[in-house]
Amino acid sequence: MKRITTLLFGMLAGIGVAVAAVNINTATEAELDAVKGIGPGKARAIVEHRDKNGPFKSVDDLAKVKGFGQKSVDKLRAELTTGGSASPAKAK
């Protein structure tokens, strides 16, 4: 019984990790490289584009990064996020 409980707990923990989307506005190169379909070169290109042009407004903005086409963006969409608002709210 203890084995089954441990196995189920491990599976549920794995599902939680698999469902978590990577924020392209805050992720490091290593975190981006860990996403299936993004290698070290594309991860570096994402970070460089973000540093040069500011945060991404949507995952669709990845199509502006060298090495990404719309098909690539569509395949990665479920695994990536921009974390909601790409820029902080302006103070009044």
Give all domains of the chain, ordered by start, each with its CATH number. Answer: 22-81 (1.10.150.280)
Residues in a beta bridge with 81:
23
CB 81 within 8 A of CB 24: yes
pLDDT at site 83? 86
pLDDT at site 16? 45
pLDDT string in tens for the chain (92-residue length): 666 656 555 555 554 445 589 999 999 999 999 999 999 999 999 999 999 999 999 999 999 999 999 999 999 999 999 986 444 433 33
pLDDT at site 25? 96
Kindly tell me the burial class for residue 1, based on how many C-beta atoms sit within 10 Å of its own C-beta (0-12, 13-18, 19 or more). exposed
CB 63 within 8 A of CB 73: yes
